Chains A and B, each alone.
Chain A
């Protein structure tokens, strides 16, 4: 019987009522009396030296309040990078400054040169057109290999080269790795690109800065996934402001997908300019600006080699990746190709020897940072593509080859620094085989062939590491932040509860799922529990939402705080019933004394806490409010198996996805409907990457895919109905809910399944195609078939 409330139930998402009826409160809905508007004059060339900026004509234009250039930010800090990677020689990565407005040089199309604050947005834009910028164009640096060549033009004059770091994980001794390859019975090699993507949340970025002269207090409203992180970075590294004087509010946020984690120049600018202009300053990105200023995702070029013995056991894996950082180091950019990618290269398999090498490269393009999955899709794509190729070369069934090499005993220490606590990859694969009706594929293929279409089946397995932690380990690995989270459970006198959480919901459904947990723990109705998030003046210092961490990390803090509340409430109940605290039981919102018929309701206890007429004041304080900070012992390890079936039109190269099945192990599940939705959305995004999306620069560093006319987002008719199965559940062993995180799985697991399916289809049509780089657009598939 499915439950109708509490943990495991699927109540409809309460926040959707306001989202779907136009009652959401997004940052652009926030208007502060007297606000001015800023327009950023952005570079239209990829790389140039700024020889002069003349703002004199613009300054006199109607409505102009003030014009800022890089010179106004001398003495102000730059945007920091939150993760210092140490290279293979023990040296820190090269870390160039990232000014709020360009100083000396522009380094990508979209780099802000000047900012015009004016009474209206159109006036700011008019004045920006009157600014004269004298640029000496320099060679664009687009191709990563060329950027690393001897004598290549340098993007940052003060660095020794365009190399950010050269990093190794796993077996560091090249000779040991080479020996494993020399001894192999078979080696499969694959060169591939994980193309650059634009995150494209539906809501573009917005910032409103406000300054109160009377109290010297700042408020920044911003489209962020983590308001406390923004406040910390902006105060401590950029503007040098005391945190207690700065409030950061991230109200309803219309999707983030990673790109709203980072601290951006426009946020610091609006906060800074609000004081400088003594007026609130608002900025709303156009979609065009979003394409050239939101941190982008992926962009890895990789060579991967898999060694096998004569029985097809994996014996070694070696992978060499060039990772594009773009022009500057965005907040968590350096960690994505390293600790979020290299550590995942074991996948679901017990390969004993693994070496991962990543060279991160500066290019004159928009910075690259975490995007749904962040490093894990790049790892999964390589592993699962090379396994698929190996299966074909060895003539073995791709499911069998995977099963044979699965990790089956837990905990499992991988050769690339992780300890998987739990999992059941064979069990999950069993679920997939049933959900996908793998047995019926041959008949479906025959049917497609009758219609002149090639049909393919693609399998993929993934493991991901979510809820990145614990803080002491990530600190050793270079993180300049802790990765705990926090929750305050505030019980009101009449028994309703506000839970202030450090996680931030920007579409995930926390406002529905989190109360299910608290309500179940106490035994009250979910409607009595409300989540408060997104405002540093209301919530405890939390780290926000990304990396599928919210429930596993912040939810655990919430459980701990709720336990503290229950413990205190039991003390009060014991006092009220004149019983021993040890005998108090809480069930369905009633406290009772074991073995008696004495009971007292939740509401009586909460009222007593705040109206302490009859209260053990000498033993406990009045009130009922507790906070917990939770720092996990390990990552969580969701894993799954996906199957995609495609049809390819052999004449046009057009791929259509006919079936898609997903079997995921997310451990325990709080709200199955929300989990289904997260997986659906993730698969849709992964299909977008596999078939449609691609951010392309020409050799001059101009964005060829700078609008929706050329950047293809997945639409409803590009995706099939999904079959999802979450019944394979091995609960996380180290957090109180046994949950693992489900937000990124779909985006990680689906691209290789789609590509594997297309290759299978082409091979079935007698085409000797072993790889096509994403997106598998009709033109590319046709070219591969006719190559």
Chain B
């Protein structure tokens, strides 16, 4: 690790100000950033910790009915507190990493990092969530822009994520045996105006919506509605854990299982 400065502001405004200096980076739970720094793959001049900002933490239901999660809320808090309102989301959070990762890692850090195998991106995209930053609101459909790439600008921080609460939802995570991130994960959410299906872990473009399945499930929310569909392996990830064809097959299997579990 190279040397760096450290600040722990108490408000969003102070955090944004602290991030003004060159090569400063926000620090969420540090579960991705700190290992990268230890390996000397990342060398910020300054870390601005978001963990002391009360207005960025916690889970609550907004007046418009959406579930609001503060950008610096650890996975374990989501797992414990979101269950009453959005069980599929709490379930997803409860299966991220191990207890240490869940107690440190944050939803904002996960969405900012946008690892192609991470879990939260599928929930955010599958719920049509709104990513709220220090200066704007970004629809999930506009936010995810490919592996490790998002709409966030330099120095912009995720302060809140708003999830419209679906009628039914489920997340199926098929773990990569080593990392236990999602080898492929499918988040299915049924809303009054239609079904959303978001897939993580599979595509070289990062998290994406499987629109054919969405259409089929919007008219018939049953596992068999997906039977006739298939996903093309083109553009899927191939690595030592699975071929593109395998991931394509998992998408369909997991989608059916998610629908069955949600229904």
Residues of A in contact with B (beta carbons under 8 Å apart)? 122, 125, 129, 288, 651-654, 691-692, 694, 696, 704-705, 708-713, 775, 777-779, 782-783, 786
Contact = CB atoms under 8 A, between A and B. Distances in A.
A782 B177 contact: no
Given A696-B240, A704-B240, A779-B246, A651 B178 contact: no
Contacts of B249: 782, 786
Nearest to B179: A709
Contacts of B240: 694, 696, 704-705, 710
A712 B250 contact: no
Contacts, number: 52
11 contacts: A129-B40, A691-B177, A704-B239, A704-B240, A705-B178, A709-B179, A711-B178, A713-B178, A778-B242, A779-B241, A786-B249
A710 B246 contact: no
B202 to A, nearest CB: 12
Most-contacted residue by chain B among A692, A711, A775, A777 (CB, 10 A): A777
B243 interface: yes
Given A708-B179, A709-B178, A786-B245, 13 more contacts: A122-B1, A652-B253, A691-B177, A696-B240, A704-B239, A704-B240, A712-B178, A775-B177, A778-B183, A779-B243, A779-B246, A782-B249, A783-B243
B174 interface: yes
Contacts of A711: 178
Contacts of B245: 783, 786
A288 B38 CA distance: 11
B246 A708 contact: no
B39 interface: yes
Contacts of A122: 1
Interface of B: 1, 39-40, 174, 177-179, 183, 239-243, 245-246, 249-250, 253
Given A708-B179, A710-B179, A288 B39 contact: yes
Contacts of B177: 691-692, 712, 775, 777-778
Contacts of A778: 174, 177, 183, 242, 246
B253 A651 contact: yes
A44 to B, nearest CB: 13
Contacts of A779: 183, 241-243, 246
Contacts of A651: 253
Contacts of A775: 177
A255 B237 CA distance: 36
- Which 8 residue pairs across A and B have the least CB separation, nearest first? A779-B242, A712-B178, A712-B177, A709-B179, A651-B253, A779-B246, A710-B178, A696-B240
Contacts of B250: 652
Contact of A708 (B174, B178, B241): B178
A290 to B, nearest CB: 14
Contacts of B242: 777-779
A777 B14 CA distance: 48
B154 to A, nearest CB: 26
A147 B162 CA distance: 57
Contacts of A125: 40
Nearest to A705: B240
A196 to B, nearest CB: 12
B199 to A, nearest CB: 15
Contact of B241 (A129, A288, A777): A777
Contacts of B179: 708-710
Nearest to A704: B240
Contacts of A704: 239-240
A519 B226 CA distance: 70
A709 B239 CA distance: 12
Given A705-B240, A710-B179, A711-B178, A782 B246 contact: yes
Nearest to A126: B2
A129 B39 CA distance: 13
